[in-house]
Amino acid sequence: MTDPTTAPAVDDPESFRERAVSTLVTARDRTTLLTSCVEEPDLTAQHSPLMSPLVWDLAHIGNQEEQWLLRTVGGQEAIRPEIDGIYDAFEHPRSERPTLPLLSPAESRRYAAEVRGRVLDILEGTALHGTRLTEAGFAFGMIAQHEQQHDETMLITHQLRKGPAALTAPDPEPAPLFTGPAEVLVPGGPFTMGTSDEPWALDNERPAHRREVDAFWIDTTPVTNAEYQAFIADGGYDTERWWAPAGWAHIRQHSIHAPLFWSRDGKQWLRRRFGVTEVVPADEPVVHVSWHEADAYARWAGRRLPTEAEWEKAARHDPAGNRSTRYPWGDADPRPEHANLGQRHLRPAPAGSYPEGESPLGVRQLIGDVWEWTASDFEAYPGFQAFPYKEYSEVFFGPDHKVLRGGSFAVDAVACRGTFRNWDYPIRRQIFSGFRTARSAESV
């Protein structure tokens, strides 16, 4: 067996075969958990117009796997070609999906299981080289990432679902109160952004290219609930000057006065988290805030959101070796001591946790816990080429979407690395999103 803590060499196809099996099985185990912990009415209901019914996600996972791995890679005949349109995410927006003739939960499970059984047979006999789609098992890694991304989406649906808790997980290990510096200086100069050699990196992460970044300061840890509560207490939601015009209009129109799922009980803030109501923990990174809220907080604090390039330099730049690493801690795949990933916990860890996961410059929790909003629009890198289909990234490029980096507690390691890019509308709050702030080095 290969060492699970490091990425296989590109010229070692058997290692990638083992890695593909492992990541596909891990993803399916999580899908099974997320769709077996509630009764059928909760699987077929739409818990928010922003999200699909859980049963749609379940069959969509199987359909994508069938289309790419059975038909395209394996050259097999379609199992259920008549459902391709029903489970096409671009043909039917989420708000319409409950009205479609969806497979029942039992049918969806049987379908996904049949596809998976055939895929594992195909994987065993496929040469993981020779074509761009099969090189180093890319197509299998792409599908494992796709399933884990939908698992995160289904976890968001669980958070939106009303009713008692259906999921449980241990809390993160208690962490000593972080007493390190509040911010870290990232030196100016060039660094390598993106990747050209990460085998399972998706098209928007490519290619590697040189970026110049001026020196800047960045928060050592994400902004905490306590820090965000100070913004609220100071009238942050009632002071127009902190908000971009679109953000101000949005919060006034929708009467937003706190992060999503927060409520006021006398002198304390409460939150609803996966069916449990609890006091908002002061030391955790704030979560379920929009880009507009993050941007307003940064203005109030006399700071700004980091650009995407700044975030990646803080996460990957190793000044000692003058290179970009795969992760803040180096090139090894994530382990539990590095980051809060994979739904191992159902909440962020306290700010300052995971010292073994900090970057060479001393920035913590850049991977896991909460997705971090950046100041940047989602744009193509120089030399970008859509692969294997333009709908994964290309159709989303432009000013409508803001970039998030770093992953959250809901993200699996296969779909999270130092180059991984996420994006969403700046009004979105149901996602597991937080932020950290920055300032230019010449600022005082």
Over range 137-144, report the average pLDDT: 98
| b/e sequence 119-152, b meaning 16+ C-beta within 10 Å | beebbeebebeeeebbbbbbbbbbbbbbbbbbbb
Taking CA atoms, 69 is separated from 29, 85, 419, in Å, by 19, 18, 25
- Residue 11 corresponds to which amino acid? D
- Residue 433 corresponds to which amino acid? S
DSSP, collapsed to helix, strand or coil, labels residue 317 as strand
Q: Residue 431: is its pLDDT beyond 60? A: yes
Angstrom distance (rounded) from CA 14 to CA 120: 14
- Residue 341 corresponds to which amino acid? L
What is the model's pLDDT at position 174? 86
Over range 313-335, report the average pLDDT: 96
What is the model's pLDDT at position 177? 84
- Model confidence at 1, pLDDT cuts 50, 70, 90, reads very low
Top pLDDT among 321 and 296 is at: 296
Angstrom distance (rounded) from CA 12 to CA 18: 11
C-alpha dihedral sign at 311, 313, 314, 316: positive
- Model confidence at 94, pLDDT cuts 50, 70, 90, reads very high
Angstrom distance (rounded) from CA 425 to CA 314: 24
> SS3 for 234-274, per residue?
CCHHHCHHHCCHHHHHHHHHCCCCCCCCEEEECCEEEEEEC
Q: What is the pLDDT of residues 189-248, one digit of tens each?
A: 999 999 999 999 999 999 999 999 999 999 999 999 999 999 999 999 999 999 999 999
Among the ranges given (13-17, 136-140, 397-401), the one the predictor scored with the smallest mean pLDDT: 13-17
Over range 419-428, report the average pLDDT: 98
Backbone angles phi, psi at 440, to 5 degrees: -70, 150
Angstrom distance (rounded) from CA 18 to CA 3: 11
What is the model's pLDDT at position 3? 36
Return the percentage of the chain with pLDDT > 70, whole number.
97
What is the model's pLDDT at position 8? 58
Q: What is the mean pLDDT of the chain?
A: 95
pTM for this model (two decimals): 0.95
What is the model's pLDDT at position 12? 81
DSSP bridge partners of 217: 185, 439
Q: What is the pLDDT of residues 28-66, one digit of tens each?
A: 999 999 999 999 999 999 999 999 999 999 999 999 999
Angstrom distance (rounded) from CA 251 to CA 249: 6
- DSSP code of 418? T
The answer to whether the CB of 156 falls within 8 A of the CB of 430 is: yes
What is the model's pLDDT at position 289? 98
Q: Residue 115: is its pLDDT beyond 50? A: yes
Over range 246-262, report the average pLDDT: 98
| Maximum Cα interatomic distance, the chain, rounded to a whole number of Å | 65
What is the model's pLDDT at position 4? 36
Q: What is the pLDDT of residues 344-400, one digit of tens each?
A: 999 999 999 999 999 999 999 999 999 999 999 999 999 999 999 999 999 999 999
Angstrom distance (rounded) from CA 66 to CA 297: 44
Q: What is the pLDDT of residues 157-200, one digit of tens each?
A: 999 999 999 999 999 988 888 899 999 999 999 999 999 999 99
